[in-house]
């Protein structure tokens, strides 16, 4: 039977929020290693608070936009190395989506971070999914689903269990302008729409929920259909 291919985009704020990080990362690593016996996995790590620290400090020191972007990318790659260490995966972090897809194989977990300025790790995940013809992208976030507004600020925000990729795109752009939503990157959505890649958005700190998304089981989060 053909083994499914999955790209996991895990936010830096999920991976290292500064709250029992080693405990969570060990559980995450164990789950991904177990899931890799069933599906082929590439993990793309975001930068989170580490990236924010370097970019904010760099800005105060007079760094250019390009320099700040490179600091942020460096932070994502550090986070990727941390997760790779916990899984016993290669710490030689791929620099491009094509390289990550080329290294990916059944049972071989590839972990990476950002690639070039202007491409968020969500977009990179969609690019990797395209390169390896993945079945879905799993977006592990700090919220449990897609909402009409930030549920931490708007208690009346509508929660969505299912959306089309077009509807997700409308939510991302609605009222806020491109790139202002934290749900999923606009470029990543555009790629997923063009390449017909489904996106599953789940609470990344809920290990069982994340496992279900990776394995293609029913989830409590949001299933975004590209078809």
- Do the beta carbons of residue 82 and residue 50 sit within 8 Å? no
Question: Model confidence over 154-173: pLDDT tens digits?
Answer: 888 899 999 999 999 888 86
Task: State if pTM tops 0.85.
Answer: yes
Q: What is the pLDDT of residue 215?
A: 97
The single-letter DSSP state of residue 179 is T
- Do the beta carbons of residue 40 and residue 3 sit within 8 Å? yes
Question: Model confidence over 75-108: pLDDT tens digits?
Answer: 999 999 999 999 998 889 999 999 999 999 999 9
Nearest to 42 by CA among 76, 90, 8, 93: 8
Q: What is the SS3 assignment for 76?
A: helix
């Amino acid at each position: 039977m053909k083994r499914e291919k999955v790209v996991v985009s895990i936010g830096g704020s999920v991976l290292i929020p500064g709250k029992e990080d080693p405990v969570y990362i060990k559980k995450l690593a164990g789950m991904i290693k177990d899931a890799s016996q069933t599906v082929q996995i590439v993990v793309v790590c975001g930068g989170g608070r580490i990236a924010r620290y370097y970019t904010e400090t760099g800005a105060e020191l007079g760094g250019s936009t390009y320099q700040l972007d490179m600091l942020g990318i460096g932070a994502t790659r550090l986070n990727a190395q941390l997760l790779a260490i916990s899984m016993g995966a290669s710490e030689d972090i791929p620099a491009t989506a094509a390289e990550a897809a080329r290294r990916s194989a059944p049972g071989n977990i590839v972990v990476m971070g950002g690639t070039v300025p202007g491409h968020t790790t969500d977009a990179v995940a969609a690019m990797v999914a395209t390169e390896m013809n993945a079945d879905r992208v799993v977006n592990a976030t700090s919220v449990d689903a897609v909402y009409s507004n930030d549920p931490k600020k708007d208690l009346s925000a509508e929660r969505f269990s299912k959306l089309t990729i077009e509807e997700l795109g409308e939510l991302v752009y609605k009222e806020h302008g491109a790139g202002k939503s934290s749900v999923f990157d606009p470029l990543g959505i555009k790629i997923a729409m063009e390449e017909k890649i489904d996106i599953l958005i789940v609470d990344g700190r809920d290990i069982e929920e994340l496992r279900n998304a990776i394995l293609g089981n029913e989830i409590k989060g949001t299933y975004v259909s590209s078809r």
